[in-house]
Structures are given as C-alpha cells and as structure tokens.
Amino acid sequence: MIKTDHHMHTNASVDSPAEMEDMIKQAVDLGLTEICITNHADFHSFTDIQKWDLTNTYNGSIPLSDYVKVLPDGETCEVAIKDFTGYIDTYQRLSQTYAEKISVLMGCELGLYSYSPEAVTAYANKYPFDFIIASQHTLGRRDIGLNRASFFVGRSKQEAYTTHLTEMIQNVRDYDCFDVLGHIDYIVRYWPDEDRDIHIHEFDDLLTALFKTLAEKGKGIEINTSGFRYGLNRTHPGIDLLRKYRECGGEIITVGSDAHRPEHVGGYLTEATQILQEAGFKAYTKFNQRKPIFIDL
C-alpha cells in the first residue's frame, strides 16, 4: 500500500484549524513514511474578499485578516500565511524532531489564475518548496466555492465544465512554476445536479489537450482521495480520467488526502493504490526538492 501523503494543510492555510505537529503525529501513528505539507497560497479577487468578515477566526484559531494581503494592483488579494519566516522555523524544528520516524517535506498548493501570473510565479519562486501542486479554484475572477450559490445559475453543465477545462488548459500552458495539477475535476464538488462527473465522451477533446500539454511539459496530476470525504464515493479524478491521462502519455502522479484535520491524514490510501493499479499505473510519484521520484506500486 502507498505510504506517502503529498497533500495536506495546517493552520497556515486559511481553511484549516490543524496544528502542524498534530498532522505529523497522526501520519506517524498510521505508519506513513513520508508526508508533504502543502498549505494554500491563493490569489482571490478583492470583490470575493469583501464578502469575508476578516475579524472572524477560523474555528477560534487565527484571524482571517492574518492571511490576506492586498497586492499593488488593488484588485487581487494574496491569501496565504503572512509570517512565512515563523512558519519555516516551525517546519524545520518539527521535521528534525520527527526525522527518525517520518520524512516531512514542505510543499504548497498554489492557486492558478489567469489574471495574476506574476504574483503566482513570484510566490512559487520565493520559498524553498519541495513540491508544488497547482490547483484551479476559480473561473475568471470568481471563486467556485465562494460563489457556488450563483455561479451555476443559468449555465448548463456543458457550458460550466467547458469553461473550467478551457481555462485550466490555458493556465497549464502559461505556467511552469508547479509540479502536478491538483484535483483536476474540483468543479464537480459544487455542481448542483446528480450527474456531476466529467464524462470523457462529452469532453474528450479538452481532456486530451489538457493531459497532452501536461505530459509534454513534464508535469503530472494527483490522485486526491478527498472525493470520498466529499460524498463522491471516488477519488479526484476518477478511474476513467486516470486512464485517459495515462493514455495521453501521463506518467507523473502523486497521491494525497487533501487533509485539513488530523483525522483525514492518509485517508483512503488503500483505495488509491487499487484504483491506480486498475488504471494501469505501475508506479506513483513523490517529490523532493522539486524532483520526481517514482515508487513501484
């Protein structure tokens, strides 16, 4: 079974209350050999941030204002931990403390946006990350999750998903500052009807373009097990898209729980192992100092 988890968050992410040490301890208790902590760095539109009450705290932890910095364009806000020096100090201390029990790497889940490429790239290059997941949480300047109540009104599934995939393809072409593309079917979490899946027969041309572009650039995707937690009863993405990715020349694939709490660390790794094998993969991937390492399944 896979013994690594390359996607998780601590309270250095705006949406997690978890202490870093608690996440590490849980991974040790599960017998994992390596984890990568991939806290968020997103670049929301100022319009979306105005919807937040920045005086609030997340689950009584850190005030939201501690994550938000308005960028010079006045229209974009960086949403990430502000005290990165203190964060690195904590990471280094804990990774050394637990070094004999588990390898702890420092990564990032970096939001990809068509409207702030300089800010995104600068953030990726600023810190010594071992691994960078690129995730598309928005369409245009609107966050899909924050605007879920209104975003899909008056849109067909075909229109919404086509827009999502088209923008993702362009972002993959425009950016080089990442290693894998995260939860590529993120949008299905919020589609309001029962048939949520991205079906290959409906979006074959777009999926082919996406996966071939990734393969040509030496980038990968992740198999994200949080789909089980979100009621999809499968991973992000599911087996059909994983097979399509492999058929398009994709080889790099990391595995992550997308845990935001200790109890979610290492979740559904047994299922991920089986799904990857059924999809035809012979190995999965982990990263160290931005370099892929292939591990036999």
CA angle at 259 for the pair 253 and 261, rounded to the nearest 5°: 165
Residue 78 parent element (H or E):
strand 76-79
Mean pLDDT by 10 residues, the chain (297 residues): 96 92 98 98 84 71 84 86 92 97 98 86 95 91 78 87 94 96 93 87 96 98 96 93 97 98 97 97 97 96
Q: Say what the pTM is.
A: 0.95
Asked if 44 and 77 touch (Cβ cutoff 8 Å), the reply is yes
DSSP designation for 268: T
Which of 221, 291, 226 has its CA nearest to residue 261?
226
183 close to 138: Cβ distance less than 8 angstroms: no
Cβ neighbours, 10 Å, residue 270: 12
Q: What is the token pair recorded at 51? A: 């919807």
Distance CA 278, CA 180 (A): 21
Cα–Cα distance between 97 and 256 in angstroms, integer?
A: 23
**Residue 149, phi then psi, degrees to nearest 5:** -70, -30
Please give the Cα distance from 77 to 87 (Å, whole number): 20
Which residues, 6+ apart, have CB-to-CB distance to 83 below 8 Å? Answer: none
52-61 per-residue burial string, b: 16 or more CB within 10 A, e: under 16: beeeeebeee
The pLDDT assigned to 58 comes to 63
Rg of the chain over Cα atoms, rounded to whole angstroms, equals 18
In order, the DSSP letters of 95-137 are HHHTTTT-EEEEEEEEEP-TT-HHHHHHHHHHS--SEEEEE--
pLDDT, residue 59, reads 57
